Amino acid sequence: MNIAYFDIALLNWLHGHLIPGSVPALQMVSDTTTWVSIGMALLVGVLALSKRSKLLLKQFIILVVVLLLVAATSQGLKALIDRDRPFYTHPGIEKLSSGGDASFPSGHTLEAFAMAAAMSLIFRRKLIAIPLFLWALLVAYSRVALGVHYPSDVLAGMVIGAAIGWLVPWTFRRMPFRILE
């Protein structure tokens, strides 16, 4: 059994076994990605200004860099790979959410996992990490269940997003010069 077969079989199963009435909730989860991501960064930025905290300001900058890198990576890979969405190539898959450009990787998933990883590393609190990773997993599931991504698109988004969310804070900590310290 090859990977493409497994990818399509899992997509068909997840898309075909939606909980009745779950589509609006899955669409809502999917649609929260950018708002939640930007909201988290802005919240940290507002707290930095209100508390006059250099540490929070540095964390805000890290989150902005994560978001910019996510956008560039996602759009760059989509343009480079240009994989058709599953609802174009498989007649049994119905498009139940937004999704128009290339499929690989899942930009929503990449963004959600990048922000979950970055926030978890920056703040190091289970109370932050667990809900954010659960949200990111729901975003990933929603993209496949709603028929706009293959499971491999979502898996790539998870891996690349988590890597960005880990690498940016790690890089900032190891810079030879200190930002805002």
Rounded Cα distance, 115 and 84, in Å: 26
Whether pLDDT at 65 is above 70 = yes
CB count in 10 Å sphere of residue 8: 18
- Per-residue pLDDT tens for 11-62? 889 888 888 899 999 999 999 999 999 999 999 999 999 999 988 999 999 9
Considering only residues 41 and 4, tell me which one the structure prediction assigns the higher pLDDT: 41
Nearest partner of 19 among 138, 116, 118, judged by Cα: 138
- Give the pTM: 0.92
Percent of the chain with pLDDT over 70: 96
pLDDT bin (cut points 50, 70, 90) of residue 180 is: low
Q: Is the pLDDT of residue 100 over 80?
A: no
What's the pLDDT score for residue 170?
A: 92
Two tokens at 146?
A: 């709603």
**What is the spatial distance between Cα 109 and Cα 95, in angstroms, rounded to a whole number?**
17
CA distances (Å), origin 58, targets 47, 62, 156, 164, 178: 12, 6, 28, 17, 10
Q: Is the peptide bond before 151 cis (omega within 30 degrees of 0)?
A: no
